[in-house]
Copies of this chain bind each other. A is one copy, B any other.
Amino acid sequence: MLQVAIFGAGRISKIHSANLVRQQGVRLKYVVDVHAPSAAALASEHGAQVSDIDTVFADPEIAAVIIASSTDSHADLILRAAASGKHIFCEKPVDLTVERALVCADAVAKAGVTALIGFQRRYDPTFAALKARIDAGDIGVPEVLAITSRDPGAPPLDYIRSSGGIFKDMLIHDFDVFRWILDDEAVSVYATASVLTDPKVGEAGDADTTAVTIRTRKGRLCQINTSRRAAYGYDQRFEVLGSAGMLQAHNHRPTEVEAWTASGVATSLPENFFLERYRAAYAAEMAHFVAALIDGKPVRTTVADGLKALQLAQAAEVSWRERRIVEL
């Protein structure tokens, strides 16, 4: 029986916990959160105990930890987990600085523990099916990737202020998708950004709308456009042009009802936000993590991937702030 502890008891922790306990041969032993009522509620739901960081890492029964606490705690917990020989499932990002993410990558590599970074999009049924078709050669050689990534609305300003900025907070997923889908690395990054939804986002030193272009070693081109606000909800699409065709990943809808009335022919809005849109992805991600631990196989989204995505986010931010193309 694999015993696991989770750091964080917020909404994403609830999802990870529920997915964890659905796996065979796994048990959630500890829940750790500074907010005691949340920790108690989550622990109670799964027959786990509320605990603290030191107890978790001192307990030899704990084989793995899920790090779903606030971003600024990620690196510390990764380093402690590596030092204690615990396997790691960590939400993105590894850290907000490239330097510290590098330290984490090194520590994990030296400790030889399995460490999965939560780039859940790679586990999404639609995205994974698209990637499998590229790998099967259905569209020949991939040439152009266009990613559209929009949130239903900007988060609170407090969140934005501590988020590390839109590139590290929001586009980090898109940068990972870019690397995964094109199977190539960036040689240059250009980014521009605007404050269009609320001037306070600008006063907080961030932007809410971005346009990024990445050029790869093989000369492939990637364009990303993101916004913190789409009036119609969560928008998560991309398309890949290849030498023999194009593949598109469309949004998911909660129902397949289509209404024909005098005002038009309308389908449902897309799944509301990431918890709904990526529900299947989160489940597959956790199943993959547990299977990897049991089988001793490598995971598909590593700390190295987290580091690379962070480097791209960093480059994009520099490009935007300094109004220049960043060569990598």
Contact = CB atoms under 8 A, between A and B. Distances in A.
B140 A231 contact: yes
A248 B222 CA distance: 20
A141 B227 CA distance: 14
B258 A245 contact: no
Interface residues of A, number: 71
A138 interface: yes
A159 interface: no
A79 interface: no
Interface of A: 125-126, 129-130, 133, 138-141, 143-144, 146, 148, 150, 188, 190, 192-197, 209-211, 213, 215, 219-223, 225, 227, 229-232, 235, 241-252, 254-270, 323-325
A259 B244 CA distance: 11
User: How many copies of the chain does the oligomer comprise?
Assistant: 4
A153 B267 CA distance: 24
A146 B209 CA distance: 13
Nearest to A188: B192
Contacts of A138: 259, 261
22 contacts: A125-B255, A139-B231, A141-B196, A146-B146, A146-B148, A188-B192, A192-B213, A194-B215, A194-B220, A211-B213, A231-B243, A235-B246, A244-B261, A245-B262, A246-B259, A247-B257, A247-B260, A248-B259, A264-B267, A266-B266, A266-B267, A325-B325
A195 B243 CA distance: 12
A199 to B, nearest CB: 11
Nearest to A262: B231
